């Protein structure tokens, strides 16, 4: 694993931090993409201590800001010419309707559009690596999801957290399917993961902390972050998954997805819409 380079989004806590630690233990150079400077630096210290590795660094990347994503990618490109592993782990659950810096509904903006832009901007670096792997953290919530192209940010209709979350998680799977086809001629594998019920900060308001009590009460019944990250880590490094792409995994096995998640026309429509929303020209045909 020496000389491999990985990016993990949302790496300051939960599955992102657990993934960082496990990859670093395998002598992989890990870049922790974190939203907050102070919390990122604290998590960097934890990751280095628990992995006993100094091959970890932290860079600021707020998936809720297109400007922040572009700055992060530019900084990465200055230091590195390739990327072996990209773990699109960061995610939010918004109990009330909120907007990103660019006016996107937060769940769709962070969970899908932020990672859509990040991955596209890093394609050349992924192409430069042998056996590059992209892992997209989705959820079983994609099964109740729909893509509301007429009102994707719920400006006209009533907002509901499950409706918004389901949309973003379906978008994750559709994105996985679409980009896997686009990079089929390159050594890039792209797969989606349902981590299961994991005790993380997902569902806790990032600004107010609302939701901490409920999460704490449910923690004994959930997987640990390390357990939840297990499938993503395996997809990123295990030889058995080399060449496996465009699939959806749970507990390290390919599992069925919803009918809408299989819809290639829907995936292509979402891709074109996403390009327009984040302001990029078609990077792949």
Looking up tokens 């379906």 gives: 170
Residues 6+ apart with CB under 8 A from 177: 246, 261, 262, 264, 267
- d(Cα 21, Cα 230) in Å, to the nearest integer? 12
Rounded (to 5) percent helix, strand, coil in the chain: 45, 15, 40
Backbone angles phi, psi at 8, to 5 degrees: -125, 120
Beta pairing class for 188-193 and 248-250: parallel
Of 80, 153, 159, 165, which one is the catalytic site residue? 165
Active site annotation includes 165: yes
User: Which bin fits 112, alpha (ψ -120 to 50), beta or left (φ > 0)?
Assistant: alpha
User: Of the candidates 145, 170, 175, which has an alpha carbon nearest to the alpha carbon of residue 160?
Assistant: 145
Residues annotated as part of the active site: 165
């Amino acid at each position: 694993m020496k000389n491999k380079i990985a990016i993990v989004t949302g790496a300051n806590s939960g599955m992102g931090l657990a993934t960082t630690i496990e990859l670093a233990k395998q002598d992989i150079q890990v870049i922790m993409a974190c939203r907050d400077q102070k919390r990122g630096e604290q998590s960097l210290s934890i990751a280095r201590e628990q992995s006993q590795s100094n091959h970890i660094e932290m860079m600021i990347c707020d998936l809720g800001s297109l400007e922040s994503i572009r700055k992060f990618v530019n900084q990465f490109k200055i230091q590195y010419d390739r990327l072996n592993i990209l773990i699109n782990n960061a995610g939010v659950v918004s109990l009330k309707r909120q907007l990103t810096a660019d006016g996107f509904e937060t769940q769709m903006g962070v969970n899908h559009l932020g990672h859509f832009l990040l991955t596209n901007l890093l394609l050349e670096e992924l192409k430069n690596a042998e056996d590059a792997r992209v892992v997209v953290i989705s959820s079983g919530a994609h099964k109740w999801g729909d893509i509301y192209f007429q009102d994707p940010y719920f400006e006209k209709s009533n907002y509901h957290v499950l409706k918004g979350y389901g949309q973003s998680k379906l978008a994750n799977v559709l994105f996985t399917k679409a980009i896997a086809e686009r990079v089929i001629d390159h050594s890039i594998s792209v797969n989606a993961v349902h981590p299961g019920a994991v005790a993380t900060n997902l569902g806790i308001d990032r600004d107010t902390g609302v939701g901490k009590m409920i999460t704490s009460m449910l923690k004994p019944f959930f997987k640990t972050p390390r357990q939840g990250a297990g499938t993503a880590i395996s997809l990123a490094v295990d030889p058995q998954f080399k060449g496996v792409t465009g699939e959806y995994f749970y507990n390290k096995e390919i599992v069925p997805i919803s009918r809408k998640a299989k819809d290639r026309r829907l995936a292509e429509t979402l891709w074109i819409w996403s390009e327009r929303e984040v302001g990029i020209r078609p990077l792949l045909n």
